[in-house]
Structure formats: C-alpha cells, structure tokens
Structure 1
Amino acid sequence: MRILTTPLLFWADGMTVAPGLVLLHPRVRGDAGLLAHEAVHCRQMRDVGLLRFWWLYFSCRAFRLWAEVEAYRVSLRYQPGGIRHFARTLSRGYLLGITPAQAERLLQG
C-alpha cells in the first residue's frame, strides 16, 4: 500500500483511491488506526474490483454503509474509546441517512 500525504485532502483525514494507493492529510500521517481503516478499503477494492467498488460506493447507500462500518470496526481496535466519534463521523459524513445512535449500534456489531 503506497501512502501519499497531501494537504489538498481537506475534506477527509484519509482516502483510498485504489487498492494500492492511499492519500492522507499530513496531520494524521502516523495514525495507525486510520491506516488500518484505509487498508480495509484496499482489500475491499481488491475483492470487489476497483471500478465496481467505486460505482457501488457512490450509487448504493447499503454498500457504502457496509464498506465504512467494516473499516470503522477496524479503527475501533486501535481506538476503542473513539466509538462515539466514529459513530458521529459515520452518521454525518457519508450521506447514509442514519443517526449517531444507529451508527454506534452498527459499529458495536
């Protein structure tokens, strides 16, 4: 997984562009939980296929929810106390139409 840092990524801390390419904002360069989160997206892209992943991610709310819940569950292993923060981010940042409480329940599995 190649990691590039750029301050141009102002809307997110990190973004997986392709199975082997992750962009990070410089302020989170050393965040192991975020890197693990993005590694999940790399695997998802390999499993689903890059174009299919992006098509489904942008066109299907259920797929986007599945992809992010799986990745945030890995983030929680690195920051177990961050569940409320991750739930708020999940509920507000991905156009999923869920509340923070619903997101928290999904993250708890």
Structure 2
Amino acid sequence: MRRIDVIGIGLGVFVAGGAVYLALTLAGLDGISAGIWSQVIFTGGLVGWVLTYITRVFSQKMTYNQQLKDYEDAVLQKRLDEMTNEEIAQLQVELEAEKKSQSAS
C-alpha cells in the first residue's frame, strides 16, 4: 500500500466520522450524545476490522500467503509441463514407493 493510499484512507475515516456526527446531530441528538455515539460507531467498526484482520492472519488468507501459494503452484506446474512422459512415469513410481515405505513404518 502506498503512502497516498494510507493518507486517503485516514482522511476518509476522519470525514466519515464527522459525517456520522453531523447526521446524529441532525437526527436530533445533542452534541455530547452525538459525539459519544459517533465514537461508539467508529470503535465498533475498528474492532470489527481488527477481528477480520486477525481471522485472515490465522487462516493464512493474507495477500502475501496467497501470492506465495500461487507462485509455488505455477513453478511446480511449469516443472511438470517441462517433464517428459518417461520422467513423469518415473516420478509416479517413486511416489508410490515412498507411500508404501511410509505406510509400512
């Protein structure tokens, strides 16, 4: 994420908080109540965002993890595409032998 993106998001959150405050005052709440409720809404949104972030971290659904998995899959697919039929058959034989040796122990 670029610096300008972070500045834009911060400014957007600031403006949204002011808009919520103004909407609550126009809805009839006094300034103190509108301020408290706008903070409650902001804090609830922040806690919700943090929970989704933590969920993505522990489930490893972050952008970096997905990019790394996609890259590894592409590299393995390229290697498989470059192999001859004989090499693929030999690899299958080796995998079968490894499975048998793991199940025997």
TM-score range, shorter chain: under 0.3
Q: Which structure has the greater CA radius of gyration?
A: 2
Structure with the larger RCO, 1 or 2 (CA within 8 Å, 6+ apart): 1
- Normalization by structure 1: what TM-score? 0.27
- Normalization by structure 2: what TM-score? 0.27
- Normalized per residue, the structure richer in strand is 1
